Structure 1
Amino acid sequence: MPLASAAADAAPAAGLEFAGDAVALTPPSLSAILNSPLTDALAWIAIVAFMGAALLQWYGNVDSARLLAGGAWVVFGVFWLTMVPYYFADAQSPIKTLLALAALPLSAYTAYLLYGGRTSLLLLSKAVAFMGLIYLPAETIPVVRTWLIETTAAQTHYGMELLGHSPGLIEGANGYQSKFAFDPSETVTGRTTYIVLSCTGIGSMAIFGGLIASVTAPLKRKLSAFTMAIGVIWVLNLGRNIFIGLASPWGWFQQEMLVSLLTTYMGAEPDRVSFLVSHNYIAQSLSIVALLGITYLVVKLVPEVLAPLEDVLYILTGTEYDLFEALDVEERRPAYAPSALEQ
């Protein structure tokens, strides 16, 4: 998962408002957590440490790089742990809650492996550093952030128009021209959505950009893979935004069974059910499928990314996998990534 500041990653993939007046969804206590200096500091410390480890390795100081990268992984895990209250209580996203909970033990285990001498994990650490370098400009440079959000909102609105809906765009709670101005008296739920940074797909772009940038391969192949991944993510993400943006106000999932289930067991507001089902369950589940598909396409163009992916599988399962041999691309194996039998 890409490293981002707390404020950006905490935002739901589509902000939710009443179609009339904007309503803040984050309780004061959670806002304090998400915008706290500690949470932001953890994000910055982790990414700077990952970058530092990559530089140390580049200069040939592998042992110091392992130690620094190990520390970065621990901080990285703590950062995601601070996001659990938001994902559980406000975003009400089981998938993100579980991922955030799993991040700390998995990150700690990665640090343990690095301290134990698994130097191949430095490549995965470098990939995370590049993910941060790709994400941070969108998070920290206002003109980039504004362009991404408002361009995504405009293109999402155009997609809605193609389907016969033209609500117009007005300023959302985040201060950007990104809110779909549905008339609350005409819609089923009286709710609408607005585009936030994570709606732009920048997180997924950072993941693949970081993986591709971290490996050694001909520039032409890396650029081809990056361009393909960005294009596919952008198009799929627009479809996702259109789906959520229409499902929420028009109550596509306001069936009695779903409303009862989410209000009783998830504490959801009744008129928010369509948003939660479309966003937290359908869209997020399909996003996982899409990421797997894009990974396959990237691997076809840049098989070298299998090296960090092998380490991801080892962290998750404790079993060595030789993906290069399995996919018959042994010639693309980096010199620093021995086969499973040699490790």
Structure 2
Amino acid sequence: MRLSSGNVMFLAKEVATIAGAIGMVMLAISWHKRHNEGVSRLAQTGWVLVGIYFFNDSMYYFELGDIVLTIMTALALPIAVALVIAEARSLTSRDRAALNWARGCVAYAGGPYLLVAHIPWLSVLAIWFVASQVAMFLSFTGTIDIKLGETMVNTDAGQVSWSEWDGNKWFMTDGFGEHPFQTELIMADGGAIGINFVLACTALQSMIVFIGAISVLDVDRKRRIRALLFTIPIIHILNLFRNAGLIWMHLSYEGWEYLGLSMFEFGHSYASRVVSLFAMFVMAIAMFELLPELHRHILRLLEAAGLRKKKTKPSS
């Protein structure tokens, strides 16, 4: 266990990230070679490494008091072990297809996100892209006139502006604090709002999950494109509303507190999270209607991993 800057982790973050990246590459290779013999061993190693990567953050989220992410990351390793066991089983062709889909889904959802999260330029561009649209939306609706302020880099040594930061802007090699890149939102007259925009505010994580799950399905390309065009823009628009709403509540109910939480803290940590989870649930239901293969894969995957009892037809 490693204790650094008040954050508890089982492995050094750099080690866990490298392990996760290697694991996702292994899963991607095993997905592309899914029709070949002997790729299950490669996939098994990939599952373990990816499970360790996500599990490594569980204590960090526990320290932050984020119960939802603590549970989700803590379950990553047991689920990975279950998938390793499933890889070794003699499965039906349909169950094997579901397991192959899971390999591609994790590889092509987690891989691109890791890439964005660890290439500073991509992280900052993603932040600017969404934050500028939130500012435009608030200004267009006449709610409030805001603009983007300075982008800061949160290093272990302290904060420094993006323009003055002399670190590697093409790959994260330096030590960073929580939320490495932050763009300040300010009033049009330069007044402070007290809100910074970070990568987590872009909803990239939510979008990439659907991109990974849909793009590796063995279905007609037109159906995949239709599903992506249905989900990604909707998630992006809902996220713009979410961010704009949080800013509006923060400015409209300044000084409001409940159980020691400000309006922004309550909205950000609880209200918007519940709404976001519900929206993701509704989106998943819609996806199951558009792509029933996706639903079948998930159910078969749970059965193959022993997490769901397999239904058997009653004997006559």
Work out which of the residue numbers 47, 52, 61 in structure 2 matches 1:73.
Answer: 47
Query: CA 1:32 to 1:301, structure 2 compared with 1: closer, same or farther past 3 Å?
Result: closer
Partner SS state of residue 195, structure 2: strand
Query: Would you say 1:170 and 2:149 are equivalent positions?
Result: yes
1:72-111 equivalences in 2 (<5 Å): 72-90=46-64, 92-111=65-84
1:286-297 equivalences in 2 (<5 Å): 286-297=275-286
* Bigger RCO of structures 1 and 2 (CA < 8 A, at least 6 apart): 1
How many angstroms apart in 2 are the aligned matches of 1:87 and 1:163? 37
Other-structure match for 1:130: 108
How many angstroms apart in 2 are the aligned matches of 1:247 and 1:312? 42
Other-structure match for 1:328: none
How many angstroms apart in 1 are the aligned matches of 2:251 and 2:74? 31
Deviation of 1:300 (Å): 2.5
Other-structure match for 1:28: 5
Query: CA 1:317 to 1:249, structure 2 compared with 1: closer, same or farther past 3 Å?
Result: farther
1:96-129 superposed Cα distances (whole Å, 9 cap, x missing partner): 1111112221221221222223434222122111
Partner SS state of residue 194, structure 2: strand
Unaligned runs of 5+ in 2: 154-161, 163-180
Aligned residues with identical type, % of pairs = 21
Unaligned runs of 5+ in 1: 1-26, 260-269, 322-339
Which has a greater percent of strand?
A: 2
How many angstroms apart in 2 are the aligned matches of 1:70 and 1:304? 24
Deviation of 1:133 (Å): 4.1
Query: CA 1:75 to 1:274, structure 2 compared with 1: closer, same or farther past 3 Å?
Result: farther
How many angstroms apart in 2 are the aligned matches of 1:279 and 1:100? 20
Deviation of 1:251 (Å): 4.9
Query: CA 1:34 to 1:87, structure 2 compared with 1: closer, same or farther past 3 Å?
Result: farther
Name the stretch that deviates more: 69-78 or 141-150: 141-150
Q: Is the 8 A contact 2:9 2:57 kept in 1?
A: no
Work out which of the residue numbers 256, 262, 267 in structure 2 matches 1:278.
Answer: 267
Deviation of 1:224 (Å): 0.8
What letter is aligned with 2:205? G
Which has a greater percent of helix?
A: 1
Other-structure match for 1:156: 134
What letter is aligned with 1:280? S
How many angstroms apart in 2 are the aligned matches of 1:225 and 1:297? 9
Query: Would you say 1:319 and 2:309 are equivalent positions?
Result: yes
Query: Would you say 1:40 and 2:40 are equivalent positions?
Result: no
Deviation of 1:226 (Å): 0.6
How many angstroms apart in 2 are the aligned matches of 1:111 and 1:37? 24
Name the stretch that deviates more: 137-146 or 200-209: 137-146
Name the stretch that deviates more: 306-315 or 282-291: 306-315
